[in-house]
Amino acid sequence: MSVADDFSLTRAGSLARLNTLRVAARAEWLAEARDAADVPRVLARPELRDLPCLALGGGSNVLFVHDVTGLVLRLANRGITILEDSPEAALVRVAAGENWDQFVRWSLEAGFQGLENLILIPGSVGAAPIQNIGAYGVEARDFIAGVEAWDREAETCVRFDNAACEFGYRDSIFKHRPNRYIVTDVDFLLPRRRALRLDYVGVRQELEAMGVRQPSAADVARAVETLRRRKLPNPAQIGNAGSFFKNPVVSQTELAALRDRCPEMPAHAYGDDQFKLSAAWLIDACGLKGVREGAAGISERHALVLVNHGGATGEELWALATRVRETVAERFGVMLEPEPVVI
């Protein structure tokens, strides 16, 4: 290992502890930068210049099927800075290396509202815009004012405003150009007052069970925390990357055709004329919840979550994911798309 400026660089670096699916893959080169200014310095190294580069945050949304050719760059920069403040809202710059959940808790303690539904999502702040992370009726894009990134092609820092990020359901411009943009900081516009989002299935019931009649943002955060802990396996206990499949989005005509064959299929309106199917329901209906192939499995708690019971390789996990996709496609004619980045 060599350490120069404020970054470390390792050849054949182990990724085992850097991905929450706990796959024991290796990176041809592994760099960790503790400062955004080190990103161009790392990339300018002669041995790294022409290699593909994958930026890695908390590793909670990636499946390494094989060892990684080229450079894996982990950004470990820190800092939460209020750039502008008013009685209504604040513009807050957060370093990509900050932990998402800790940032959410900071925002609630500082008196801001809005991020309460996004508590306990694993991963880093830098990964939030890439995936446009979302839960319980709220998405990161609702609060992202801008993203600062290093543009590897233009060799300069670039700023994306919210529209330029091209956010979609678990999607953004960054997800499509993983080799080009390295997110270094994210700016959030955090309101001090915002209507609480309680409509997602389960949230109101959980608040009722807690005996809360007039919930505060902190109450909603507690309710969501309880729901997540009950439903989703904890990556600290069992290797997983949250939802492994996206909920398929279909047109009204497609939904009607699916419901001709399967009237009980659940769907939620999405946008003006589209519908989101429940990937978990489709997998569950195929009897795949809780299945195991060696150490690779589908969680017994939630059918959307691929789990590593211990020692599964990336290839084994991907083989099981492929079996799930093929089974669902055969039975329902719907091809599930993975949510994490599959390398």
By CB under 6 A, name the one of 10, 179, 226, 278 that touches ligand EPU: 278
Q: Which stretch binds ligand EPU (CB under 6 A): 32-40, 91-99, 179-187, 274-282?
A: 274-282
Of 90, 82, 79, nearest in space to 112 by CA: 90
Decide: is 332 part of the binding site for ligand EPU (CB under 6 A): no
Closest approach, Cβ 259 to ligand EPU, in A, equals: 15
Q: Which residues ranging from 169 to 228 are in contact with ligand EPU (CB under 6 A)?
A: 200-201
Structure tokens at 43: 């990339």
Which of these is catalytic: 116, 139, 206, 339?
339
Q: Which stretch binds ligand EPU (CB under 6 A): 74-82, 151-159, 211-219, 275-283?
A: 275-283
DSSP string, 91-130: EEEEETTSBHHHHHHHHHHTT--SGGGGTT--SBTTHHHH
Of 187, 174, 185, 175, nearest in space to 146 by CA: 187
Closest approach, Cβ 251 to ligand EPU, in A, equals: 19
Decide: is 339 part of the binding site for ligand EPU (CB under 6 A): yes
Three-state SS at 325 = helix
170: annotated active-site residue: yes
Binding mask 290-329 for ligand EPU (x = CB under 6 A): ------------xxx-------------------------
- Relative to beta strand 181-191, strand 239-243 is unpaired
CA distance 174 to 191: 25
Three-state SS at 173 = helix
Judged by beta carbon, residue 39 or residue 232, the one nearer ligand EPU is 232
Q: Which element (helix H / strand E) includes 298?
A: strand 296-298
Alpha carbon separation from 309 to 199, 231, 235, 295 (Å, rounded): 34, 17, 11, 5
Decide: is 284 part of the binding site for ligand EPU (CB under 6 A): yes
Nearest residue to ligand EPU, by Cβ distance, number only = 242
Of 279, 271, 313, 315, nearest in space to 299 by CA: 279
Decide: is 58 part of the binding site for ligand EPU (CB under 6 A): no
Binding mask 132-161 for ligand EPU (x = CB under 6 A): ---xx-------------------------
Which of these is catalytic: 139, 170, 206, 299?
170
Structure tokens at 125: 């702040």
Active site positions, annotated: 170, 243, 339
Q: Where on the chain is the footprint of ligand EPU (CB under 6 A)?
A: 135-136, 200-201, 231-232, 242-243, 246-247, 266, 278, 280-281, 284, 289, 302-304, 339
